[in-house]
Amino acid sequence: MGTAGIMTACSGEVSKESDAIALVGATVIDGTGADAIKNALIIVEGDRITCAGDKESCLIPEGAIIIDLTGKYVTPGLVDSHIHFGQTGWLDGRPDGVNVGGRYPYEDVVADLRDHPETRYRSYLCSGVTAVYDVGGFPWTIGLKEGAENNTAAPHIAAAGPLVSHAGRLIMSAGGESTFIMLTSEDVGIEAVRQIKSWGADAVKVWFLAPSEEDRAEIDARFMAVAKEAKAQGINLIVHATTYREAKIAVDAGAHMLVHSVTNQPVDDDFITAMKASGTFYAPTLFAGANWGMAIAAAGLQFVPIIDDPNGCVDPATREKLLSAPEQNEYVLFETSQEIFQAGLARNEVALQLMNENLKRVHDEGIPVVMATDAGNPMTLHGVSVYAEMEGMQAAGLTPREVIVAATQTGARVMGREKDFGTLEAGKIADLIVLSENPLEDVSTFRSIMQVMRAGKMHDIADLSWNSLDVPD
């Protein structure tokens, strides 16, 4: 291996004039599920990986900048397959649940989200997330994709645009736009699919809540009209359906992804057979519901919620909203008590057990599982929520290696970007993260992230975080 003329670099600061970067000495987990490569080499030229392997298979180009990662671990950048750029991570982004508009006017909240997506971008990169799927939001969220794609300070984005639903929340409207299209008839659903596709969305998202018994036939027909038109238009169908019946209908209709766990009963052989036939991806989102309850309880019971942010990646404005939760108790829409809070915790524990069992079943049956947080919802914070989600998947019975594949390669697949990223292979975009601890032993070590590379640009996590702010114990 020729090394004459090689420059060295002790940190992640890389000269823009360099044509090549060599990451040397790390243990590489490539995202495919293959065995780790010890003392590996990754060669990056421009925004692409040109070689990833051992020292015998990769040649360091003349004049390359070498970054010594001996003793470190490298994985592909993480993919969060369920996020919402039109929500903040606190109650102010979901006025349909608890309306704190007297403190945080919704029009102002949405305007800031729309005009300053870079705040969320920074939180994602700081957390090691280099690609996200926004599966429901204002039409402007679709427009984020183009600017983010070649921005080394932003994750790749796929977006579905406004949600289509018979149970829409018109209060979630701002700036003359809405996050929902009301599914009032089959014809409206068909037109919604065409409109969303014309905006350049990657999918159509249906919020398929369980209808009342008397409305089932009509709501089912409206859903099926949307599903049929999505297929005719060649656009993926994404479905929020947490009950078995609606999830099964969605799968039978060819859903590309179920963005939540089935939470009301165990999945069965019929469900698994249908999932395999349709090729549907399964996104468990294990903690979003419990996090909602925690946010409401924090305001109602007047306590400061724990901010799970090991590297200071939560932006100051969001942090302020969480830290001031006790001051927002006047907005809680029901009488909250310690008994109600404890009852909610008990329900969440039961729900989590069933979600874990269903996750393990679908995974063991070969259904493609992705890592997905539902970030943007209250207490499901942009970026940092991936740590708890991956740890929850491991607790449900997936091995660390399987969780890594779900959070990298399979996430890229659900976005339709498996040719571009998700694994560390020659020809892929150079999106990767550097950890100080071994993620194959326990996925909690993703909290030890030191650096993130996005399209060949290496960022130190210390430069992305807001470390001047204390993280509550």
Q: In terms of Cα–Cα distance, which of 56, 40, 63, 66 is closest to 1? A: 56
> Which of 167-171, 358-362, 391-395 has the weakest average pLDDT?
167-171
pLDDT tens string 204-216? 999 999 999 999 9
β-strand 281-282 against 257-258: which pairing, if any? parallel
Q: What residue numbers bound the domain in which 14 lies?
A: 7-76+422-464
Contacts of residue 117, Cβ cutoff 8 Å, sequence gap at least 6 = 85, 144, 148, 154
Band of the pLDDT at 338, cuts 50, 70, 90? Answer: low
Do strands 41-45 and 48-53 pair parallel, antiparallel, or not at all (unpaired)?
antiparallel
Same domain, 286 and 150: yes
- Containing H/E element for 209? none
Please provide the average confidence, as pLDDT, over all residues in the chain: 93
Asked whether residue 360 falls in the same domain as residue 446, the answer is: no
Distance of alpha carbon 103 from alpha carbon 136, whole angstroms: 25
The gap from C-alpha 144 to its chain's centroid, in whole angstroms, comes to 15
> Stretch 50-54: mean pLDDT, rounded?
96
Helix axes 269-278, 244-252, angle to 10 degrees: 30
Q: Sign of torsion, CA 282 287 293 298?
A: negative
pLDDT bin (cut points 50, 70, 90) of residue 19 is confident
Centre a 10 Å sphere on the Cβ of residue 466 and count the other Cβ atoms it contains: 17
* Residue 324 covered by a domain: no
Q: Return the pLDDT at 139.
A: 98
The alpha carbon of residue 75 and the mean position of all alpha carbons in its chain are separated, in whole angstroms, by: 17
Co-location of 118 and 248 in the same domain: yes
Residue 220 in domain: yes
Structure tokens that stand for 190 in this block:
């068909």
pLDDT band at 87 (very low <50, low <70, confident <90, very high): very high
85, 70: one domain: no
Q: What CATH number has the domain bearing residue 53?
A: 2.30.40.10
Looking at the structure, do residues 180 and 253 belong to the same domain, yes or no?
Answer: yes
Could you tell me the pLDDT band of residue 337, with boundaries at 50, 70 and 90? Answer: low
Asked if residue 225 has pLDDT above 90, the reply is yes
- H-helix or E-strand spanning residue 385: helix 385-395
Looking at residues 399-413, what average pLDDT do you find? 98
Domain check: are 349 and 399 in the same one? Answer: yes
Note whether 367 and 374 are within 8 A (CB): no
The predicted pLDDT at position 333 comes to 62
Which residue is listed with tokens 């550097």? Answer: 434
Chain segment 263-309, per-residue pLDDT in tens: 999 999 999 999 999 999 999 999 999 999 999 999 988 999 999 99
Looking at residue 443, what DSSP letter applies? G
**In terms of residues, how long is the chain?**
473
Mean pLDDT score, 35-42: 97
Q: Which residues make Cβ contacts (< 8 Å) with residue 18, sequence separation at least 6?
A: 7, 63, 64, 65
Higher pLDDT, 148 or 470: 148
pLDDT band at 334 (very low <50, low <70, confident <90, very high): low
Residues 84 and 165 in one domain: yes
| Pair of tokens at residue 194 | 């065409």
Reported confidence tier of residue 13, pLDDT bands at 50, 70, 90: very low
What does the alpha-carbon distance between residue 51 and residue 93 come to, in Å, rounded to a whole number? 43
Q: Report yes or no on 310 lying in a domain.
A: no
Q: How many domains does the chain have?
A: 2
Please indicate, yes or no, whether residues 13 and 154 belong to a single structural domain of this protein: no
What number is the average pLDDT over the span 409-417?
A: 98
Q: What is the pTM of this model?
A: 0.94
Average pLDDT over residues 415-419: 98
**Same-domain status, 378 and 427:** no
* Residue 144 belongs to some domain of the structure: yes
Is there a domain that residue 321 lies in?
no
Joined together, the tokens standing for residue 458 give: 């290496």
Pairing of strands 78-83, 129-134: parallel
Note whether 49 and 128 are same-domain residues. Answer: no
* Paired tokens of 50: 């040109």
Half-sphere exposure (Cβ direction) of 294: Cα atoms closer than 13 Å: 19
- Do residue 390 and residue 449 come from a single domain? no
Which are the contacts of 137, defined by CB distance < 8 A and separation ≥ 6? 84, 85, 86, 87, 159, 160, 161, 162, 179
pLDDT band at 473 (very low <50, low <70, confident <90, very high): very low
Query: How far from the centroid of its chain's Cα atoms is residue 53's Cα?
Result: 28
pLDDT of residue 138: 98
Q: Lowest mean pLDDT of 109-113, 242-246, 343-347, 380-384, name the range.
A: 343-347
- My answer on whether 366 and 427 are in the same domain is no
Residue 295 placed within a domain? no
